[in-house]
Amino acid sequence: MSAEPLSGGGPVVPGRDPGRPAPRPAARRLTPVRAVPAPATTPFVRPGRHAAPETAPTDAAPDADAARDAPSASHAAGASLAPEPAPTRETPEAHAARRVRETWDEVEAHVDELADWFAALLFSLAPETRALFPTRVTEPARRLVRSLVLPMSTVDRPDELRRLVEPLVREHRALGLHAGQYEPLGVALVGAMRRYGGQAWDEATEHAWVRAFSLAAGPMEQAVRAAATPAVTAGTVVGHRRLSWDLAVVHVRPDVPVPHRAGQYLTVEVPQRPRMWRALSPATAPRPDGLLEFHVRAVEGGWVSRALVAHAATGDRWRLGPASGRLGLDPGSSREVLMVAGGTGGAPVLALCEDMARRPDPRPCTVFLGGRVPEDLTVLDRLRALAEEHSWLAVAAVCEDDPLDERTLPGTLPEAVLRGGDWSGHDVLLSGSPTMIRATASALLVDGVPLDHISYDPFAD
Ligand SMILES: Cc1cc2nc3c(=O)[nH]c(=O)nc-3n(C[C@H](O)[C@H](O)[C@H](O)COP(=O)(O)OP(=O)(O)OC[C@H]3O[C@@H](n4cnc5c(N)ncnc54)[C@H](O)[C@@H]3O)c2cc1C
């Protein structure tokens, strides 16, 4: 697909809602973006050419940030007469990461508009990137923006940054981005932030964003250059079974097995919706023949999930991105395990239980699987069959609207989990919608489960 032409009035954003205000003309905005004050000839510093050392403003420094922050801090302290604590010196990295976090919090409410504007700028700067996106750019552009901001907000924590780079780079590669495109990505991001950053956006903030991007993009660019394996594997649909109007099970045989761990998810692109990558979690532990099983629920208004449930067919060729995800058992822990899954969130939980069943030393594990109606519990029979075979596994089904049988618990998942025991000494894995995860995690935290015992991958960004 060729690049979208720039109209006279501004960048064309295909898929933009007609009711939404159009972005301002590109030329007017792009020129200043290129002129962002930066320590190099281009706004972003390539790997090995990190920004020149610079003393970041300290909390006590007389810059605009400090001037804004200082009065509120002293008011909060009640203008005490106690001696002022010595100002802590903030490193340039910490300053940049903090400014990114603060400004991002301000713009989150406008993230869709920001993503559209970002995409329009990106397509102007690097027209070849247009072909990587579907007609409606908002959702993938939003994901891409977030995948850049996340490492930028951790440039002050090298370990965390290193941990983030690998999965993010895998997603960037699956999208089709190459190392040389980080620079236009950064220019587009800062340009979009300049437009949507509001009153808090000033020269110092822009400088902090440029610095944070330089620090985060360096390792990502290097990782993309160093990647030895293909970013994407093709696979063929070998089975499509519709369980209800909104649920289907799809089997895909990849041309070569996709390396992944039980509990991880893959990004997939299906022929019914080209360039709309979505995350799906295999419902089985990795198999020697590489076969993948996905349980898909059609969400209301969902572009990909509805097409998948209704129209996926044997013989379809899918593209499978790399595996990612935090859901998994900590090999260093010997604690008992609690897994809580809602709806298709049961898929990675089944994969994890299958994986444990193959191990010589499975840990005692309790699974709560919940849904509104019995049909939502697509993996219940297989979990119950595993529990019959293995004494280390106990499975409880929870149905909010319609109890399945006498073994089904009433109420919501968090209610049933809390009634079910004391989980404060367990490792906890949560899988399903963000709402379910938030509710269950909050309930468990209040009930004494330490935060660092809980891991999850919400089924939405
Ligand atoms: C780590 C991870 C693992 C996932 N695993 C699975 C899986 O195994 N099976 C599966 O069916 N889905 C899974 N998902 C969700 C899946 O990736 C898609 O987000 C979902 O199918 C909706 O895509 P869509 O294109 O149909 O909806 P979109 O067109 O992207 O969105 C349409 C509307 O639906 C809302 N929406 C988006 N996602 C959801 C959701 N999950 N629940 C409710 N509303 C939503 C959007 O806010 C929007 O209003 C997973 C998501 C993540 C992040």
pLDDT, one tens digit for every residue, the chain (461 residues):
333 222 222 333 333 333 333 333 333 232 223 333 333 333 454 433 333 334 444 333 333 333 333 323 223 333 333 445 555 688 999 999 999 999 999 998 999 999 999 999 999 999 999 999 999 999 999 999 999 999 999 999 999 999 899 889 988 999 999 999 999 999 999 999 999 998 889 999 999 999 999 999 999 999 999 988 788 999 999 999 999 999 999 999 999 999 999 999 999 999 999 989 999 999 999 999 999 999 999 999 999 999 999 999 999 999 999 888 889 998 889 999 999 999 999 999 999 999 999 999 999 999 999 998 888 999 999 999 999 999 999 999 998 876 666 778 888 999 999 999 999 999 999 999 999 999 999 999 999 999 999 999 877 75
Question: In DSSP terms, which residues pair with 242 in a beta bridge?
Answer: 248
Buried b (16+ CB within 10 A) or exposed e, 91-128: ebbebbbbbbeebbeebeeebebbbbbbbbbbbbbbee
Of 211, 226, 241, which residue sits at a domain end? 226
The answer to whether position 307 is within a domain reads: yes
The answer to whether position 80 is within a domain reads: no
Query: What is the model's pLDDT at position 70?
Result: 30
Do residues 221 and 257 both lie within one domain? no
| Closest by CA position to 216, among listed 267, 159, 148, 277 | 148
Which two tokens mark 445?
Answer: 């935290």
The answer to whether position 347 is within a domain reads: yes
Q: Alpha-carbon distance 324 to 268, whole Å?
A: 12
Do residues 440 and 392 both lie within one domain? yes
From the CA of 315, how far away is ligand 1's center (Å)? 24
| Closest by CA position to 122, among listed 139, 110, 137, 100 | 137
Which two tokens mark 308?
Answer: 């998948």
Of 276, 299, 324, which residue sits at a domain end? 324
From the CA of 460, how far away is ligand 1's center (Å)? 6
Residue whose CA is closest, atom 44 of ligand 1? 299
Query: What is the model's pLDDT at position 82?
Result: 45
Query: What is the model's pLDDT at position 42?
Result: 38
Report the domain count for the chain: 3
Cβ neighbour number for residue 86 with a 10 Å cutoff: 7
The CATH number assigned to the domain holding 320 equals 2.40.30.10
From the CA of 64, how far away is ligand 1's center (Å)? 42
Q: What's the distance, CA 266 to chain centroid? A: 12
Of 295, 324, 353, which residue sits at a domain end? 324
Do residues 193 and 272 both lie within one domain? no
Query: What is the model's pLDDT at position 228?
Result: 80
Question: In DSSP terms, which residues pair with 394 in a beta bridge?
Answer: 366
Do residues 254 and 125 both lie within one domain? no
The CATH number assigned to the domain holding 384 equals 3.40.50.80
- Residues having CB closer than 6 A to ligand 1 are 139, 265, 278-281, 294-297, 299, 301-306, 325, 344, 347, 433, 457, 459-461
The answer to whether position 5 is within a domain reads: no
**Pocket mutation for ligand 1, best pick of 150, 299, 369, 376 (most atoms within 8 Å of C-beta):** 299
**Pocket mutation for ligand 1, best pick of 240, 433, 459 (most atoms within 8 Å of C-beta):** 459
Do residues 239 and 256 both lie within one domain? yes
Do residues 363 and 452 both lie within one domain? yes
Query: What is the model's pLDDT at position 253?
Result: 98
From the CA of 294, how far away is ligand 1's center (Å)? 13
Query: What is the model's pLDDT at position 341?
Result: 97
The CATH number assigned to the domain holding 219 equals 1.10.490.10
SS3 content of the chain, % helix, strand, coil (to 5): 45, 15, 40
The answer to whether position 16 is within a domain reads: no
Q: Alpha-carbon distance 57 to 66, whole Å?
A: 8
Do residues 216 and 286 both lie within one domain? no
The answer to whether position 3 is within a domain reads: no
Do residues 353 and 443 both lie within one domain? yes
Instruction: Tell which atom from ligand 1 comes closest to the C-alpha of 273.
Output: 25
By the 8 A CB rule, do 184 and 23 touch? Answer: no
Domain that holds residue 396: 337-458
From the CA of 221, how far away is ligand 1's center (Å)? 29
By the 8 A CB rule, do 258 and 311 touch? Answer: no
Query: What is the model's pLDDT at position 404?
Result: 64
Do residues 380 and 307 both lie within one domain? no
Do residues 216 and 304 both lie within one domain? no
From the CA of 298, how far away is ligand 1's center (Å)? 8
Do residues 68 and 203 both lie within one domain? yes
Do residues 309 and 265 both lie within one domain? yes
Residue whose CA is closest, atom 14 of ligand 1? 459
The answer to whether position 20 is within a domain reads: no
**Pocket mutation for ligand 1, best pick of 273, 278, 456 (most atoms within 8 Å of C-beta):** 278
The answer to whether position 43 is within a domain reads: yes
